[in-house]
Amino acid sequence: MPTIRPRVFGAAFEVRAFEARDGPGVLELLQATFGHWPRDIQGIAPSEFFRWKHMDGPFGPSKLLVAEADDAVIGFLAYMPWRFSASGQVLPTMRGVDLAVHRSYRR
């Protein structure tokens, strides 16, 4: 996947594929954005839920993107593989499930 280097408010950031080293930064961003992530699920560590949801899902791993600036994760987007039925066919697709942007980078 090519690296995209747009400019926002004069600050450069990079959008790229998620790497394992991004896990702690993504979890921190999700917690900061939503107050508590995952919501309404008790008794499981956020890192375990993230692994289950995005790495070990029943239809395969999610497509994950991060935005990074100043060596920190400032954005995260996840598309989960999904299947649905239409006209008697099962169609594979992607479903957007997690989107978070650091408050400092929102408009």
Dmax over CA atoms of the chain, in Å, equals 50
- Pick the closest to residue 70 from 27, 21, 28, 14 (CA basis): 14
Average of pLDDT values for 84-101?
Answer: 93
Per-residue model confidence (pLDDT) at position 59? 86
| pLDDT for residue 2 is more than 70 | no
Question: What pLDDT is stored for residue 4 in this prediction?
Answer: 43
Signed CA dihedral, 33, 36, 37, 39: sign only = negative
Higher pLDDT, 61 or 107: 61
pLDDT one-digit tens code per residue, 7-56: 455 568 899 999 999 999 999 999 999 888 888 888 999 999 999 999 99
Measured CA to CA in angstroms, residue 21 lies from 18, 27, 83 at distances of 8, 11, 29
